[in-house]
Structure formats: structure tokens, C-alpha cells
Chains A and B, each alone.
Chain A
Amino acid sequence: MIKSAHLLFFIFSSMLVHADNQPSPPPLVVAHSAVVVERLSKSQLRSIYLKRQVIWPNGEKIKVYMLPAKSDTHQQFSQGDLQMFPYQLERTWQKLTYSGIGTPPIEVDSAVEMLKIIQTTPGSIGYLPYGNETNDAKVIEIQP
């Protein structure tokens, strides 16, 4: 009986545990300057990175970019902004790829390359280390 009560407590408390106690500050989410969105909730950002949401509200195609999975910035972005662990993201992208329902984000090698692509690619979204220069890219406010 006591064991069952402990199990139930663990299961239900797991619903209340939050995953956002990650290292701060989080990376900056950036998009092409012509993207019509100013802010996104974490849930909406997750929909974009899980490739469920593929067009912006004005109908423009979303082009999603990521930094290498091993980079600190990607780890912080994954856990802080998407509230997913990197292995969960990887698993979801593999599922998309091998189920024929989507493709993973396009990987770029560095923050410099990320900024260059975001500046020049209409409809693009990506992220940069906190404090990185953003120049002509639009910084998207991420809400809880």
C-alpha cells in the first residue's frame, strides 16, 4: 500500500516538474527580418522545430536551421527554449525522417554561418549564443 502510494506520488509529481531550470541566459532566437512574427511561445517554437508548423502566419515557408547537436548553444536552446533534451529532439527528427512526414532542421557549422544564412534567407529561423551580434536579423521574443 505504502509502495503504491509512493509510486502514485512519483507519477503525478512528474507532471508538475518543470524542465526550465537550465543554465541561463538562453540563446537568442533569430529570424529573417521580413518574418511577420515578433514573439513565440515555447510551445510554438517547439512546433516549428519539430516541423509540425511549416508556414508563417502570412503563408511563407519556414526554413529551420540548427547549430551542431554537440554545441553548447544547441544544448541550451534544446533544454531552455524547446524544453526538450537533445536526445528527444534527435529521436523526433529521426521519426519524421523515416516516417516520411518531415525533414530535420538544416545544420550549419557555426554562429557566424547561422547569422549569415538568417540574414539572407527569407522565412528562416535559427538561434545564436546569447550576446552574439544579430545585425539585420530579427530577434524573436520567446515567451513561457
Chain B
Amino acid sequence: MQKLLKFNLKLIAKITLALTLGQVPFANAADDWHWHGFVAQGIMQAKDSNFVNNDGDVSTKLTEFGLNSMWQLDESFRLAGQLMYLDGGNRYQQGLRIDYLFLNWTAINTLDWQVDFYAGRYKNMHWLYSSTRDVAITRPMIVLPQSVYFDAFRDVAVGSDGIAVQSTYSSSFGELDFNWSLGATPTPKEQSQRIISTLITGATKQDFVHQFSSFFRPSGSKSQWGVSLLDSDFSYRRTDTDIFADGDFTVQRVMLNWRYSEENWELSSELFQERVSVNGFYAPGMQRTQFGQGAYLLARYNLTPQTTLYASYDHFYANKDDKNGHLLPLQTGGQIAEYFGYQRDSAVSLSHNFTDNWRMTLEYHWTEGTGRLGPNVVPDTIVNRSKYHQLWAVQLMYWF
């Protein structure tokens, strides 16, 4: 543990020093070429769950390092990308990934109407925090409400390879955004194991993800309203030694969101219903469909211009017709406990900006239920034996 801590802190110190020293020539190298980045390192502990690790020890696996660049080719075209390194223990696949890499064409740019097309690995802009969840400093909390922002799906949900359109129309009634996207995300085996089961040996593929969203900000109002729709298919192909069968998964989500802002405080909320349909996988020819539901309320209070307090309550049911999970032990011969059918989480988080580029965040979560701990399809009943579990985290962030 101490060795790990020492190694991670050394690594982060080196990266931060290098970036700090290199900042002046590095950032805004030219008018049309911009570089930015961030480094975040923390410690966290989730004693009675597999959220971070399986032994419940204090962990330094709270490392995030991102470097992004945007190149303005001309008035209408730009190229942008972000390279990210993550070490989040059981939460994410450890290592480098490209979060986005796209060509952006601004097709219409008038004072009242803007339309942008994206091709490549575009960012998911359909949920309140989907386009900012990958960057530590733009996330409201270290751990976002898991009902909507389930960490096991992080890489699948951050962006996809395909095309997207983003449009904003302004009138005397207010501003209206329309977003549409169609693509698919590669799902490496390790990531699939975090989502489906650690026992799978076959290959998972996202066939497509099709999303639409709209946001409305009434003129002169302090509120924003939105709706988003998602339709996605996954397929699983077994190996000869696999205990699972070939399977096809369909996920469809309808989500409503809302945000209300005052000078010193803000409320935001998203609620959704999600249809998950499985054909095969558990056994050839088996079919199972269930509707999950979830919602969170996130409050922000600006204690001072530099210090912000967040509080959230998050609620998730895997099956809306079995909100307390009573059917789970009956359906699995007692192998899966009732509390795998839901998750209720209350959290507080305190962030303080020491300077314009440094921030420290402290966070605590009280959770009942394990419905949003990975893997999702075949849960980890060995480590997650506690109905009640808690999590604390401290993270230091630097950005440029």
C-alpha cells in the first residue's frame, strides 16, 4: 500500500512539475492550436464493497491524467482529441485511452442558429454531465450518481465512434438545443468483464448506440429542461470453454433532466427508465426483459467563490416491478441477495480551489444496496456481502 502510494505520488509529482514548467510555451501555442490538460491524484476507500478494490484497503487508485488539443483548421473546421490515463481500481480499465478524437464542421453559424457536425470518436453530449464526466475538474463530485453515471459503463458512455450533430436555436422564447448521434464503442474484454461478469471468456461488441437529446432554456429563466433517448444493442459471442451462451443485449433509456440555478446555489436532477433485454447468454434461447429506474438530485452551494459544497441523493432500481429485489433470491436459488436489486446513495462533497489551477475535494458516500456495483449482469456476490457500505475519497487536482 505504502509502496503504491509512494509510486503514484512520485509519478504525479513528476507529471505536474513537467506540465507546470512547460506551461508557458505549452498552452495556447498558437492562435489556432490549443493545448490543455489536467492531473488528479487521490486516495479512496470503500471498505465493504468491490467499488475500488476487493480487499477494502485504502487505495491510491484514483489517478486521472488527461491531455487534450484542438486545432482550428479554418473558420468552419476543427480537429480535437483527448488522451486519457486512468487508474481507478475496479471502477475502470487501467491505462491509456482516447476519450475523443473528432473532426468538427460548423455548417451553420448565424447569430440565432448554430449547427455542428462531428465525425470520429465524438463525445456524448446527451446527459447533464456526460460530456464533462471524464475530466476531474469539470465533474461536480469525485464519484457521480451511479444510477445515471455508472462507472462500469464509463468508457462506453463517454463517447462513440460515428457521427453526431449538435444544434442550438435562439429566439425570444429562449434557447433550444438538439443533439443527435449514431455510433458504437469498442468494448475490450477487460472492460466487458467489469460490465457483464468476471467469468466471461468470449467477446462483447456494441453493435450501435443511437441517441437524441434536447434541452430548453426559457428566455430570462434560471432553469433548464431536457430530455434524452438512447437505443443500443450489444452482442456476446462465447468461446468453446465458456460457461455462458451466445447472447444479445438491448438497452433503451428515456431520461428527463432539469437544472435550476441561483447566485449561490443550484439544483440538478436526472431521472430515467431503462429497458434491458437479454436474449440467450444465460442459456441458449432464454429471454429476459426488465425495466430499471433511477433518479438523483444534486445540490450545489457556493460557500465562498473558491469553496463549493455538494450534496446528492441517488436512487436506482434494477427492476421497477421488484423495487426491493425480493424476486432475486427466488430466481437464483438464493445465490443473489435482495439488495443487489437496488442502490440508494447519499453523498456530500467539499471542493476548495487553492489557486486558479489547484483544487482539493473531500467526499463521503453512505450507500444501501449493491445494484450499481459492477459487474452488472452477473454480480460479485463474494465481495459484496454487505447491504450497507460506505466510501470516502480525497483528490487533489491541477489543470492548465
Pair B132/A15 contact, Cβ less than 8 Å: no
Q: Mark A40-67, 1 if CB is under 8 A from B, else 0.
A: 1101101100001111010101000000
Asked if A100 is at the interface of the complex by the 8 Å CB criterion, the answer is yes
Pair B223/A14 contact, Cβ less than 8 Å: yes
Of chain B, the residue at the smallest CB distance from A87 is: B302
Q: Which of B38, B70, B114, B131 contacts A95 (CB 8 A)?
A: B131
Pair B70/A100 contact, Cβ less than 8 Å: yes
What CA separation (Å) do A46 and B168 show in the bound complex?
12
Pair A15/B34 contact, Cβ less than 8 Å: no
Taking the closest CB of chain B, its distance from the CB of A95, in whole angstroms, is 5
Measured as residues with beta carbon below 8 angstroms from the partner, the interface class of chain B is: 35 or more
Pair B109/A55 contact, Cβ less than 8 Å: yes
Pair B111/A53 contact, Cβ less than 8 Å: yes
Measured as residues with beta carbon below 8 angstroms from the partner, the interface class of chain A is: 35 or more
**B44-69 interface (Cβ within 8 A of A):** 66, 68-69
Interfacial chain A residues near B78, Cβ < 8 Å: 100-101
What are 16 inter-chain pairs, A to B, with CB distance below 8 A? Answer: A15-B223, A16-B221, A18-B220, A41-B170, A43-B172, A43-B174, A54-B109, A57-B110, A79-B263, A83-B220, A94-B132, A95-B138, A98-B132, A100-B69, A100-B82, A103-B34
What CA separation (Å) do A16 and B38 show in the bound complex?
39
Interfacial chain A residues near B106, Cβ < 8 Å: 54
Q: Mark A111-136, 1 if CB is under 8 A from B, else 0.
A: 00000000000000000000000000
Q: Which of B109, B220, B222, B302 contacts A53 (CB 8 A)?
A: B109
Asked if A88 is at the interface of the complex by the 8 Å CB criterion, the answer is yes
Interfacial chain A residues near B212, Cβ < 8 Å: none
Known: A70-B305, A94-B132, A94-B138. A100 touches B221 (CB 8 A): no
Pair A103/B70 contact, Cβ less than 8 Å: yes
Q: Which of B75, B125, B174 contacts A54 (CB 8 A)?
A: B75
Asked if A141 is at the interface of the complex by the 8 Å CB criterion, the answer is no
Pair B219/A43 contact, Cβ less than 8 Å: yes
Q: Mark A72-110, 1 if CB is under 8 A from B, else 0.
A: 000000010001010110010011011111110000000
Pair B170/A100 contact, Cβ less than 8 Å: no
Q: Which A residues fall within an 8 A CB radius of B?
A: 11, 14-20, 37, 40-41, 43-44, 46-47, 52-55, 57, 59, 61, 70, 79, 83, 85, 87-88, 91, 94-95, 97-103, 144
Asked if B240 is at the interface of the complex by the 8 Å CB criterion, the answer is no
Known: A17-B222, A57-B110, A57-B111. A98 touches B82 (CB 8 A): yes
What CA separation (Å) do A59 and B222 show in the bound complex?
32
Q: Mark B198-223, 1 if CB is under 8 A from A, else 0.
A: 00000000000000000000111111
Q: Mark B283-311, 1 if CB is under 8 A from A, else 0.
A: 00000000000000000001001000000
Pair B75/A99 contact, Cβ less than 8 Å: no
Asked if B135 is at the interface of the complex by the 8 Å CB criterion, the answer is yes
Interfacial chain B residues near A102, Cβ < 8 Å: 70
What CA separation (Å) do A33 and B132 show in the bound complex?
37
Taking the closest CB of chain A, its distance from the CB of B397, in whole angstroms, is 12
Pair B111/A94 contact, Cβ less than 8 Å: no
Taking the closest CB of chain B, its distance from the CB of A106, in whole angstroms, is 9
Pair A100/B81 contact, Cβ less than 8 Å: yes
Taking the closest CB of chain B, its distance from the CB of A54, in whole angstroms, is 6
What CA separation (Å) do A78 and B45 show in the bound complex?
40
Q: Which of A15, A41, A79 contacts B221 (CB 8 A)?
A: A15
